[in-house]
Amino acid sequence: MSSQVEPIDKEEDEAWFASAAKVYPMEVKGRFRKIKWAILFITLGIYYFTPFIRWDRGPLLSDQAVLVDFERKRGYFFFLEIWPQEVYYLAGLLIIASVALFLMNAIAGRLWCGYLCPQTVWTDLFFRVESMIEGDRRKRITLDKQPWNAEKILKKGTKHFLWLMIAWWTGGAWVLYFADAPTLVYDLATGQAAFSAYVWIGILTFTTYSLAGHMREQVCVYMCPWPRIQAALTDEHALNVTYRYDRGEPRGHLKESKKRIADGLPAGDCIDCNQCFYACPTGVDIRKGAQLDCIQCGLCIDACDSIMTKVGKPTGLIAYDTDDNIERRERGEASVYRLIRPRTVVYTAIIALIAGVMLYAQLNRSMTDLSVVHDRNPLYVQQSDGSFRNGYSLRLLNKHNNEQSFTLSVEDMPKGATLEVVGIHKNADDVTKDTQLSLSVDADTTRSVRALVFSPAGVEMPSSLPMSFKLVDTETGETTVISDFFRAPGK
């Protein structure tokens, strides 16, 4: 029997898995490198220093501008204060973020991946540290090949030490978003901080060190879902880092090209110097066209432009362009750049709409609120005078920074109906039944009370009477009306 499935020996087994070829990106200078440096400094600056920004919210609340306070169940973002029931703001922010990602993709491909993604920013920083210690591409390749000697140990040791320091600082900044930053820094330094703070710093140190130092482009190629998703979202008008093969091909070394031109043969501008490939942080040859591994950071554009300038040819052999335009130029037509297209307009509209809704909700955010839950069991109770009583659980919200007093009343009940709130009365002995009661709620908290509503004696009640509770802030006059029902056996 001749089987087509061969038994695999050990050597073959190795072939199922491949070590990632280490990428040694070359340092480049140019426009996109400058942009990337600027973004790196801005984004890391925001990340590391935001917890130290102060924002005055009065004596009771935290003065940290950006803080997620799990203990007191509050989120703070400058002028915003978010209670747990307002987490939909977070949902709104996430929707805006994802649609912004789509919009970026529709305008110029993987702008997020190339410039803004934390993986890219931290990897870029780690590359910079690496080349500062070990030198540029060629020196690093040589160093990796040479046997372990004092120089190699010193260089590698210094690099890993610096990487760990950056990673540790990254983890340290992370925990500052969840507690008062200056206090926590002091506590961490003196060993008094919560155990979980150290654990989180440890986790973030490990992930930063391994993802930015060791995993690098593997994260983008194998772990991240976005390259797959964005490939499905792109269209022929989205700008991408593109090798303009219409101008570059046929490629050849400078001398070869000159010879071909002398012979009257066609010769492209690409001199096959491989600088674009050497500069690439993910090890991509952009001349093979758009590919999943390419994060479109633009560094190959810088590498190519500097070579083109040296050989006296126009820059922009690699540039933000579209395949559509290359085909147009090959047909002798002019390039077209369409920034305003249905999808960019729709994405922008969605972002504007959600941002508008959130802004409206924020501007009209109520400072007080009331929730009412009618007793389920029993729905009503008959009193000995024949009248009926309904019980309700009320929760009063006070988002003000000071104790606030309210009047609570029932509306739309027959004349003579009374209200009682357990624990609220005018004098010590007497339980107060009234049509309107005063009660207060402490600063920045909720108060739950039990309210009892009594129908007047001798009045025939329907089985279900729509009524409402009205809560009025006596200071600001802010009024909340919550509808409910008064139940009775009916006829």
Partner 1 sequence: MAEHKKEIDQVTGIETTGHEWDGLKELNNPLPKWWLYMFYGSIVWSVIYWILMPSWPLVNGYTKGLLDYSQRAVATENFDKAAAERAEIGTMLLEASLEEIRDTPALLEFAMAQGEVAFGDNCAPCHGTGATGFEGYPNLQDDSWIWGGDLDTLSTTISYGVRAEHDETRYAEMPAFGRDELLEKEEIIQVANYVGSVAGLPTQEGVDLEAGKVIYEENCAACHMENAKGDLETGSPNLTAPTYLYGKSVEDIIAQVNAPRHGVMPAWIDRLGETTVKSLAVYVHSLGGGQ
Note the residues at the interface with partner 1 (CB under 8 A): 2, 4-8, 12, 15-20, 215, 218, 222, 375-378, 381-384, 386, 389, 391, 420, 422-423, 425, 428, 431, 447-450, 452
Place of tokens 């509050």: 74
| Between 335 and 440, CB nearer to partner 1 | 440
The b/e string for 235-258 (b: 16+ C-beta within 10 A; e otherwise) is eebbbbbbbbbebbeebbeeeebe
- Could you tell me the smallest distance in angstroms from the CB atom of residue 18 to partner 1? 4
| Between 422 and 481, CB nearer to partner 1 | 422
| Between 254 and 424, CB nearer to partner 1 | 424
- Could you tell me the smallest distance in angstroms from the CB atom of residue 391 to partner 1? 5
- CA dihedral (57, 60, 62, 63) positive or negative: positive
Three-state DSSP state, 295: coil
Amino acid symbol at 12 = E
| Between 183 and 405, CB nearer to partner 1 | 405
| Between 101 and 441, CB nearer to partner 1 | 441
Residue 267 CA: distances (Å) to CA of 286, 300, 357:
19, 21, 57
- Could you tell me the smallest distance in angstroms from the CB atom of residue 80 to partner 1? 28
* DSSP character string of 79-95: TEEE-GGGTHHHHHHHH
Strand partners, 373: 393
- Could you tell me the smallest distance in angstroms from the CB atom of residue 450 to partner 1? 5
- Could you tell me the smallest distance in angstroms from the CB atom of residue 85 to partner 1? 19
- Could you tell me the smallest distance in angstroms from the CB atom of residue 421 to partner 1? 10
- CA dihedral (235, 238, 243, 245) positive or negative: positive
| Between 253 and 450, CB nearer to partner 1 | 450
| Between 452 and 482, CB nearer to partner 1 | 452
Structure tokens at 490: 């009916």
- Could you tell me the smallest distance in angstroms from the CB atom of residue 490 to partner 1? 16
- CA dihedral (175, 179, 180, 182) positive or negative: negative
Place of tokens 């009209």: 364
